[in-house]
Amino acid sequence: MYIAFDELPPHARLWIYQANRPLTEGEQAELAPLLKAFAADWSSHGRDLHASAVLLHDQFLVLANNESASSASGCSIDKSVNFVRELESRFGVSFFDRTQLAFLKNDKVELVPMQELKNKVAGGEISENTLYFDTLVNNYGDLQANWPREAKSSWLSRYF
C-alpha cells in the first residue's frame, strides 16, 4: 500500500541508497512512477507493506515502510534490493557503492571518496560542521530532523 512520503510516521523504517551521480530531470521523471508502483506493490508474505519511495536531493533513493502496520521480512527486503539493482541497470547508475561519502556544500551534493577523507579534513575542506548525508539513518523522524547532519554528529566524529 502506497503512502505519500511526507505522511510517514516518525518511526517508519528507512533504507537509503546513494547514487554515484545526480539523476537528471528526465531520469527523475521516469523514476517517479516506478518508485510509486514499487511501494504500492511491495509486500511481505502476502501482506501489503505500508510503504513509500522517493528520490531526495536528486541522488538519494529512499525506501520506507511503516513497520507498526506491517513489518518487512527478509524476502521483502530482497525484493527491494532487486528493485534497486534493476534501477541501476535501467539508469546506468550505482546505488551500492559505499566508498563515496556525500556532503552538502554550497547547496550541492559533493561526493568524496572515503580514502580522501583524512586529507580533506586536514586541508580544511571538510570540518566538523560540514553537513553529511548519513545513509545509516534508519527512520523517518531522524531523516526529517537530522538529515543532512553535521559530520561531528555522525560516525565521522572520530575524524575531528
pLDDT digits (tens, 9 = 90+) for 66-111: 976 676 667 788 899 999 999 999 999 999 999 999 999 999 999 9
Evaluate whether 62 touches 15 at the Cβ level (below 8 Å). yes
Number of domains in the chain: 2
Range of the domain at 63: 5-91
Is residue 18 located within the same domain as residue 79? yes
Q: Is residue 45 pLDDT above 80, yes or no?
A: no
Is residue 9 located within the same domain as residue 83? yes
pLDDT of residue 71: 65
* DSSP state letters, 29-71: HHHHHHHHHHHHH-EETTEEP-EEEEEETTTEEEEEE-TTT--
Percent of the chain scoring above 70 in pLDDT: 96
Q: Is residue 142 pLDDT above 80, yes or no?
A: yes
Is residue 61 located within the same domain as residue 110? no
pLDDT of residue 52: 96
pTM for the predicted model, two decimal places:
0.92
Is residue 16 located within the same domain as residue 50? yes
Q: Is residue 137 pLDDT above 70, yes or no?
A: yes
In a domain, 57, yes or no: yes
Integer Cα distance of 63 and 82 in angstroms:
13
Is residue 113 located within the same domain as residue 86? no
